[in-house]
Structure 1
Amino acid sequence: MKVTVSTEELVDHKISEDHLQQAVDSIHNDGYVVLENVVPHHKLDILRQKMLEDLQTLVSAKEKVMPINFVKGHIQQ
């Protein structure tokens, strides 16, 4: 389920009652909710770049010491 947060909600730092109920219902029914427009895309781009760097480090690691439950070829995020 995706809830698109409005510009007004972002400015007010408060989600509407309708959107809040949709989010709660989604978590109860689906186990997750996506709050669209909450995080600026440029910040997501920075996070993505760092995750790609970390991925490269893990995949190319010559040492066999890996994070717990890490399976080569299975990338968990």
Structure 2
Amino acid sequence: MSELTSEAPPAAPAAPAPTSLTPSTYLKSILGRPILVRLHTGVTYRGILACLDGYMNIAMEQTEEYGITGELESRYGD
């Protein structure tokens, strides 16, 4: 299982999220923002969420790959 988080700075407290917020809706709301994807293997990717398809596959831009030790391994994209 992978973990996906937005790296946006914390915002002021807001009203509770609507109950109709789905994972797909959430991902669409953060398109173009920095995200962090952590795989179950421990590898982490940091980059900009570029797009999302109907199967919730994502594409990222300006992405950096960090190994399980936290060291930068590769850079991908623009």
Q: TM-score, normalised by structure 1?
A: 0.22
Which one has the bigger helix percentage?
1
Larger radius of gyration: 1
Greater relative contact order (Cα < 8 A, sep 6+): 1
TM-score (norm 2): 0.22
